[in-house]
Amino acid sequence: MTQFSVPWLPRPERGNYGFPAKAVVAAIVLLVVAAVFYWVTNTFLGGRPVAMLLLVAAPILVAIMAAAAAFAVSTWRAWGPILFKTAPFLLIGAVIASCVCVWAANALFEWAREDLVAAAANDPGATTWFNGPLTLDEIVSASPALLPAWISPLIWPLQFPLFRDVVSMTTLIIFFTIVPVFVIWWERKVAGRIQSRLGPMRVGGWHGWAQSPADGIKLVLKEDLVPKEADRILFRLAPYFAIIPAAAAYMALPFGVTYVFRDLDIALVFILALLGIGVVAVIVAGWASNNKWSIYGAMREACQMVSYEIPMGMALLVPVLCVGSLSLREIGEAQAEGWFSWLAFSNPFAFIAFVSYFIASLASCKRAPFDLPEAESELVAGFLTEYSGFRWALFFFAEYAAMFVICGLAVILFLGGWHSPLPASWGAAWGDGILARGLKGVLFSGPIWFVLKGTFFLYVQLWLRWTLPRIRIDQVLYACIQVLLPLTMILVLGSTLWVWAGMSESGAWTVFDRIVTWVLGVVGMIFALGLPAIAAYGFYHRRRLVGSLVIDPLPGS
């Protein structure tokens, strides 16, 4: 908390908390001028509207703007230092507040859907939900007596699907932007810790929290380079090919039962398709750069992606088989009954399928140990060699956004989706009040669990990246074609047989199935509890680890 210098913002001056006098004077002068012009136009020009607009309204507008600027500057002077000290807490508060807002909006939407529709259905005179908008009076008559009447204009837009789309799209775009910014900072911190150093510590104050925004601004300000011999159009087009599918994949990704932008029947296939398109961007980028390293990176990416999509898709078939649906919402809802109902523990094949899916997904979003397309020790930066500035940033945005989608898929398909380890049926007795809904959202199932689990798997990806060495391209392909592919084929076959055996509903099989589920669940629990235990041990002894490296004399000194 000692450092709070952000290089790209003016450092606030100490002791100068006053209102900027010059701006205030300018505003007053402008207002006087406007008054004079008003008198002039009224007297000599007969108050023509255009003249009024130009001579009177314009100075008043400028005066208002000057006053606003003065207000902003003075606020900055007064609050800047405090803002810098408390920025991390403000940030956390803002995140919590936005979660609360989203939750409140969702509750409102649900209420608007259920109660208003019911009211409209009871009243034959009222227009219905989709056939036309309800009027304000109808909303007032339909809403409970507790709500004051002046709220009804605020509720009125909730009945339009377009409004909900706009709200959820804005939320998704914000999430899509925040995830890479956060993960890039986090990755640098994790890398630092794993290598016994601190990572970014300066920018912004607390543990360098402003490192990613500062990097972003730096990247935007960098020179926009296109190599002379490059294919200029394709070079400029490639980043968009990367980022658009990654952004569109969020469209079908459910964060909760109701927190989904478009609940598609085929959400799983859709997301897989969009993630698969990303490879075209890499190939086009590598080709258009007209650089040996780039083209090597692109070829490696093409090999890797095309081969790893097969085991990935086959591993994903296992939960689809268990549930019998391609809709992510249905798959998630099938795992509502707590830890032991999660699909990863439903049978041994699903458990292994989860591991092999995770390995294949690492390869398909170019994470270490499969980051051959941008292997910096061999290929400079692979397909990114010739990119700089904003285009380079777009590739990274796409990569980190796709990482979250991949982790979200793993969570939804294998690890209970948006449900907590507690069975959701425990909360059935609490009723449907607004408080009970909120409590259930926190305790049993809600987007907060989805984001938490997804973030945990993001951490696992970062952890693997900074722990494992990169493997060779022939080893990558060997691992796919000769190990993962046969393995996932066996898994699909095995889980088909398992589900088929379960369909006979014989008593002995049910008991056996239950025992296997419990054993797998306990194994998973040991993993899930062991990781935080190890992390806590490391955190407790962090001084010892760092200190020993610092204090030990270097050889020869």
Positive or negative torsion for Cα 390, 395, 400, 401: positive
123 vs 513, which CB is nearer to another protein? Answer: 123
CA angle 339, 342, 345 (to 5 degrees): 95
30 vs 139, which CB is nearer to another protein? Answer: 139
51 vs 257, which CB is nearer to another protein? Answer: 257
Beta bridge partner(s), residue 419: 445
Q: Rounded distance, CA 453 to CA 368, Å? A: 20
Radius of gyration for the alpha carbons in the chain, expressed in angstroms and rounded = 29
48 vs 292, which CB is nearer to another protein? Answer: 292
DSSP letter (8 states) at residue 487: H
Q: What values do phi and psi take at 337, rounded to 5?
A: -90, 50
Closest CA to 59 of 80, 79, 41: 41
**CA-to-CA separations, 375 to 22, 184, 219, 405, 428, in angstroms, rounded:** 56, 18, 21, 23, 52
Beta bridge partner(s), residue 445: 419
- Rounded to a whole number of angstroms, the minimum distance from the CB of residue 8 to another protein is 15
- Rounded to a whole number of angstroms, the minimum distance from the CB of residue 68 to another protein is 24
- Rounded to a whole number of angstroms, the minimum distance from the CB of residue 239 to another protein is 8
- Rounded to a whole number of angstroms, the minimum distance from the CB of residue 407 to another protein is 20
109 vs 156, which CB is nearer to another protein? Answer: 109
If DSSP states are collapsed to H, E and C, what string results for 267-329?
Answer: HHHHHHHHHHHHHHHHHHHHHHHCCHHHHHHHHHHHHHHHHHHHHHHHHHHHHHHHHCCCCHH
182 vs 235, which CB is nearer to another protein? Answer: 235
- Rounded to a whole number of angstroms, the minimum distance from the CB of residue 242 to another protein is 11
265 vs 376, which CB is nearer to another protein? Answer: 265
273 vs 526, which CB is nearer to another protein? Answer: 273
- Rounded to a whole number of angstroms, the minimum distance from the CB of residue 424 to another protein is 14
- Rounded to a whole number of angstroms, the minimum distance from the CB of residue 145 to another protein is 23
Amino acid at 311: P
Crossing angle of helices 211-221 and 161-194, in 10° steps, is 100
- Please check whether residue 424 is in contact with residue 467, taking contact to mean a CB–CB distance below 8 angstroms: no
Buried/exposed code over 461-475 (b: 16+ C-beta within 10 A; e: otherwise): bbbbbeeeebeebee
Q: Rounded distance, CA 300 to CA 286, Å? A: 10
209 vs 395, which CB is nearer to another protein? Answer: 395
Instruction: Give the total residue count for the chain.
Output: 557
- Rounded to a whole number of angstroms, the minimum distance from the CB of residue 432 to another protein is 11
Q: Rounded distance, CA 321 to CA 315, Å? A: 10
Q: Rounded distance, CA 511 to CA 516, Å? A: 9
- Rounded to a whole number of angstroms, the minimum distance from the CB of residue 534 to another protein is 38
106 vs 495, which CB is nearer to another protein? Answer: 106
267 vs 375, which CB is nearer to another protein? Answer: 267
- Rounded to a whole number of angstroms, the minimum distance from the CB of residue 41 to another protein is 38
556: left (phi over 0), alpha (psi -120 to 50) or beta: left
- Please check whether residue 133 is in contact with residue 159, taking contact to mean a CB–CB distance below 8 angstroms: yes
- Rounded to a whole number of angstroms, the minimum distance from the CB of residue 415 to another protein is 22
